[in-house]
Amino acid sequence: MDITRQLQTDIKLLINSWLTMKNESTDIGKVYWSTDANTAVAALTTGEATTMVSKLTKEEFLAGITLAEQLDKFFTNQSLTASDYLASCQNTIYGNNARTSKLSESVEALGDRMKQVSQDCITIYKKCLDILKSYTENEVGTMIASISSNRIIPGSDMTKAELLSGITLCEQFNKLLSNQAATQGDYAATLVTWSRL
């Protein structure tokens, strides 16, 4: 398969995952602040078990909320805070301090949802690494340098501008997760553009 067609296919698959993640992250923040979850978790002591199934401590739970809020900001062109969100994802996935009874239904449900978002983040992070490696090693940037932004790239259905927006999204998402300074941008618009391809 032509490399440009493969890049288009790979980015398109990620776009669908990002759309789900964007909506889920926004909703996690809304649920946390509109239910008893925020006050129930705030009342716990440092290191206290917070969820039964996802086995999160207070700190792991709050790190999951922070991750969801940062993902929401990432897709909605807001200022971002650098942190090692990959480590937060690992801690959320492999929580090991189970609560013996539910703190509340909303807290328990949020723990499960944040665990899924964390798993999705790591999966997408790895796929972005593969896309960026393929783009660089096959010198696609050099290959398309001379064509105009709105021209369709040979072997694909995407324009140069669309490809570059997808590559930028991969780069900046990975920077956000790996404690680098991610560049703020309208990545929701990139999702919309790519969802039409």
Reported as a single tens digit per residue, the pLDDT across 38-88 is: 999 999 999 999 999 999 999 999 999 999 999 999 999 999 999 999 999
- Split into its structural domains, the chain has a count of 1
Residue environment code for 42-71, b if the CB has 16+ CB neighbours within 10 A, otherwise e = eebeeeebbbbebbbbbebbbbbbebbbbb
C-alpha span between 133 and 170 (Å, rounded): 11
φ, ψ at 57 (rounded to 5°): -80, 175
Determine the pLDDT at residue 196: 86
Residue environment code for 170-191, b if the CB has 16+ CB neighbours within 10 A, otherwise e = bbbbbbbbeeeebeebebeebb
Determine the pLDDT at residue 1: 47
**What pTM was estimated for this model as a whole?**
0.94
Q: Is the predicted pLDDT of residue 13 greater than 50, yes or no?
A: yes
Determine the pLDDT at residue 152: 94
Determine the pLDDT at residue 45: 97
Reported as a pLDDT band with limits 50, 70 and 90, residue 189 is very high
**Percent of the chain at pLDDT exceeding 90:** 96
Reported as a pLDDT band with limits 50, 70 and 90, residue 197 is confident
Cβ distance 46 to 97 under 8 Å?
no
Whose CA is closest to 115, among 97, 96, 89?
Answer: 89
Q: Any residues with CB less than 8 A from the CB of 14 and at least 6 apart, and which?
A: 124, 127, 128, 131, 170
Reported as a single tens digit per residue, the pLDDT across 122-144 is: 999 999 999 999 999 999 999 99
Residue environment code for 140-155, b if the CB has 16+ CB neighbours within 10 A, otherwise e = beeebeeeeeeeebee
C-alpha span between 56 and 64 (Å, rounded): 9
Q: Is the predicted pLDDT of residue 146 greater than 80, yes or no?
A: yes
Q: Tokens representing 111?
A: 């723990």
114: domain range?
A: 3-195
